[in-house]
């Protein structure tokens, strides 16, 4: 008689307990703690030396640690003050057997999810999720435990997926073909060979690959080759010709052209990227991008011909700035899209890199510049610090403003405009990141609705912020037409004298330094 072997299936659940913001102050003597619960700790400030179950850890900002019950943590005398967010949770393992279901309070410690430091690729994304749980858990009555548990599940899943060790386990067939690419990228590889490795027809393979990865097999193979090329170029004494051959290119010229198209700069510049003299040509303050990652620009210029500036004055300013740019002797010129027409002028001095701003995503541009200059880690930390600051300012503004509404306007020399709640870095900062309540009418998820001053609708808003744009071209006249409109005097913010003229927050919102300055201004604002 055959015996029946019972099969078991285990499933892990993570039950949300709380999110706490804590700070340890540095003091003399060794302090020892026994961890009573499961905690994910995200360090936000400070550094120190900590022993975790006998293992020495140099903790730094934007690192993530998993602490488990019974773990002994010792803070040495070398540990200064540090701050962290702690996500407290309770893991439950459900085990299904032939006889029924059983549960146990334990954590399946497998893969990257182990006690101690958990390496993460994008710490700012980790911080965002923690801040969201922190905010939601403090808004009693608005979020139930189920919602927070689901957030926790997604958070832990995100940790596992963001670790360097975790790969894209999308489809075994594609995994086999990608593994083949990674092993044979130096060779000439056909779609037919990759499809054969996946056990599919070429057409079906190409469709599935594009659907799952978002790129074609040829593009993906090119990405593998370029990533490998970047690794090799970062090594000392690398030669472009040898690197080209090492990643499957017979022609050094063709490799250089493809590398520049993909990365933004040619290999010869990329090899020196950490020691480049960089100039910035921008109307949006891109020099602050460099300053946020610890680089002082060799020179900063703005060649945009602003309305109201006459031709002779502009020509003189153009000549002076170009001469000073030349004297600064940069290796690279990073420019925004307002300087596209000057690309040939820049080429006479140094290699220009023009950033495409078809997508108004300040963060994407910041990260791209950081990657170009080998400062990815510094950019991640700058973004994480900014998001932490935004969370603090959001809570302060909730206390200060409550549900009172805020409207943002701009008066130019042509029209007046009411800002929407999306579509521009400034709108997203105010209404999404800081949670300000928009005035009525709500323009919607667009960046601005423009109109003549006489067409201004009745605004139901308690606070009004206005910027005069292109004053030399006549925005003051447009502003005067606005404030002498009959509708203007019926606006609650006008009646209570809560109309504030602001600097060019629109340009400032494109950089971390500018966004921090806007938040500082809002904190100083007196609503009463």
- Check whether 166 has a pLDDT greater than 50: no
pLDDT band at 479 (very low <50, low <70, confident <90, very high): very high
Q: How far is CA 387 from CA 44, 47, 185, 478, in A?
A: 11, 20, 39, 36
Question: What average pLDDT score do residues 171-188 get?
Answer: 88
Shared domain check, 325 and 281: yes
Question: What CATH number is given to the structural domain containing 186?
Answer: 1.10.10.60
Write down how long the chain is.
528
Question: What average pLDDT score do residues 153-169 get?
Answer: 65
Beta 437-438 vs 405-411: how paired, if at all?
Answer: parallel
483, part of any domain: yes
pLDDT band at 168 (very low <50, low <70, confident <90, very high): very low
For residues 31 and 117, what is the distance between their CA atoms, to the nearest angstrom? 20
Higher pLDDT, 209 or 29: 209
Boundary residue ending a domain (348, 374, 400): 374
- Check whether 161 has a pLDDT greater than 80: no
Shared domain check, 122 and 66: yes
Shared domain check, 34 and 109: yes
For residues 438 and 443, what is the distance between their CA atoms, to the nearest angstrom? 9
Beta 38-45 vs 82-97: how paired, if at all?
Answer: antiparallel
Q: Do residues 130 and 19 lie in contact, with contact meaning Cβ atoms separated by under 8 Å? A: yes
In this structure, of 4-13, 237-246, 300-309, the range with the lowest mean pLDDT score is 4-13
Higher pLDDT, 200 or 11: 200
Q: Do residues 361 and 330 lie in contact, with contact meaning Cβ atoms separated by under 8 Å? A: no
What the block records as the tokens of 449 is: 């609705």
378-417 confidence digits (pLDDT tens): 888 888 888 888 888 998 999 999 999 999 999 999 999 9
Question: What CATH number is given to the structural domain containing 332?
Answer: 3.40.50.1980
pTM tops 0.85: no
- Check whether 170 has a pLDDT greater than 60: no
Residues linked to residue 296 through DSSP beta bridges, in sequence order = none
Cis preceding linkage at 76, omega within 30:
no
CA torsion 95-100-101-104 (nearest 10°) is: -70
- Check whether 20 has a pLDDT greater than 60: yes
Q: Do residues 360 and 447 lie in contact, with contact meaning Cβ atoms separated by under 8 Å? A: yes
Q: Which residues form the domain of 296?
A: 273-374
Q: Of 214, 206, 123, 213, nearest to 162 (Cα)? A: 123
Shared domain check, 148 and 18: yes
Shared domain check, 266 and 281: no
265, part of any domain: yes
The set of residues, in sequence order, having a beta carbon less than 8 Å from that of 383 and lying 6+ positions away, is 124, 363, 366, 367, 512
For residues 446 and 459, what is the distance between their CA atoms, to the nearest angstrom? 17
303-334 confidence digits (pLDDT tens): 999 988 999 999 999 999 999 999 999 999 99
Alpha helices in 88-166 (DSSP H): 123-138, 145-162
Residues linked to residue 463 through DSSP beta bridges, in sequence order = 406
Q: How many domains would you assign to the chain?
A: 4
Rg (CA), the chain: 28
426-454 confidence digits (pLDDT tens): 999 999 999 999 999 888 778 888 999 99
Shared domain check, 277 and 248: no
- Check whether 11 has a pLDDT greater than 80: no
Query: Would you state the pLDDT for residue 294?
Result: 92
- Check whether 483 has a pLDDT greater than 90: yes
What the block records as the tokens of 296 is: 């002082």
Shared domain check, 133 and 34: yes
For 321, phi then psi, to 5°, come to -65, -40
What the block records as the tokens of 466 is: 């206005």
Shared domain check, 143 and 71: yes
- Check whether 56 has a pLDDT greater than 90: no
Boundary residue ending a domain (352, 374, 396): 374
Shared domain check, 362 and 467: no
Residues linked to residue 87 through DSSP beta bridges, in sequence order = 19, 40
1, part of any domain: no
Residues linked to residue 9 through DSSP beta bridges, in sequence order = 96
247-266 confidence digits (pLDDT tens): 988 888 999 888 888 888 88
What the block records as the tokens of 257 is: 């052209």
State the distance between the two ends of the chain, measured CA to CA, in whole angstroms.
86
């Amino acid at each position: 008689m055959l015996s029946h072997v019972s099969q078991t299936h285990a499933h892990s659940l993570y039950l949300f307990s709380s999110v706490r913001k804590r700070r340890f102050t540095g003091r003399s003597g060794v302090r020892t703690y026994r961890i009573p619960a499961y905690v994910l700790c995200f360090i936000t400030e400070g550094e120190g030396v900590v022993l975790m179950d006998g293992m020495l850890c140099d903790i730094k900002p934007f690192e993530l640690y998993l602490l488990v019950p019974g773990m002994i943590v010792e803070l040495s005398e070398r540990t200064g003050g540090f701050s962290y967010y702690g996500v407290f949770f309770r893991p439950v393992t459900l085990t299904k057997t032939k006889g029924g279901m059983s549960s146990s309070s334990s954590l399946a410690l497998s893969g990257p999810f182990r006690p101690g430091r958990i390496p993460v690729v994008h710490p700012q994304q980790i911080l965002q999720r923690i801040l969201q749980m922190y905010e939601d858990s403090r808004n009693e009555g608005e979020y139930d435990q189920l919602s927070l548990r689901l957030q926790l599940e997604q958070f832990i899943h995100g940790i596992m997926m963001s670790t360097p060790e975790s790969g894209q386990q999308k489809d075994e067939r594609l995994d086999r073909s990608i593994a083949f690419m990674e092993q044979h990228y130096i060779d000439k590889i056909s779609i037919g060979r990759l499809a054969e490795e996946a056990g599919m027809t070429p057409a079906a393979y190409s469709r599935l690959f594009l659907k799952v990865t978002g790129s074609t097999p040829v593009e993906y193979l090119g990405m593998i080759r370029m990533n490998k090329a970047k690794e090799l170029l970062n090594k000392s004494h690398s030669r472009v010709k040898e690197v080209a051959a090492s990643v499957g290119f017979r022609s050094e010229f063709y490799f250089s052209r493809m590398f520049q198209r993909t990365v933004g700069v040619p290999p010869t510049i990329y090899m020196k990227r950490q020691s480049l003299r960089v100039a910035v040509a921008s109307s949006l303050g891109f020099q602050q991008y460099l300053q946020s990652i610890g680089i002082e620009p060799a020179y900063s210029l703005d060649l945009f011909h602003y309305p109201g500036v006459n031709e002779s004055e502009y020509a003189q300013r153009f000549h002076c700035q170009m001469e000073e740019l030349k004297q600064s002797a940069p290796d690279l010129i990073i420019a925004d899209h307002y300087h596209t027409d000057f690309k040939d002028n820049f080429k006479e001095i140094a290699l220009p890199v023009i950033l495409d701003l078809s997508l108004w995503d300040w963060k994407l541009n910041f990260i791209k510049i950081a990657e170009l200059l080998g400062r990815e880690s510094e950019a991640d930390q700058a973004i994480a610090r900014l998001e932490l600051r935004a969370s603090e300012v959001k809570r302060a503004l909730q206390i200060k403003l409550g549900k009172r509404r805020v409207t943002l306007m701009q008066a130019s020399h042509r029209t007046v405009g009411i800002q929407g709640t999306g579509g521009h870095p400034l709108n997203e900062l105010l209404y999404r990141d800081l949670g300000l309540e928009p005035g009525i009418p709500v323009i919607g998820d667009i960046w601005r609705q423009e109109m003549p001053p006489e067409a201004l609708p009745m605004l139901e808003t308690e606070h009004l912020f206005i910027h005069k744009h292109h004053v030399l071209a006549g925005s003051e006249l447009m502003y005067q037409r606005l404030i002498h409109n009959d509708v203007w005097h019926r606006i609650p913010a006008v009646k209570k004298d809560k109309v504030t003229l602001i600097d060019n927050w629109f340009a400032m919102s494109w950089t971390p330094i500018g966004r921090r300055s806007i938040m500082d201004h809002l904190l100083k604002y007196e609503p009463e």
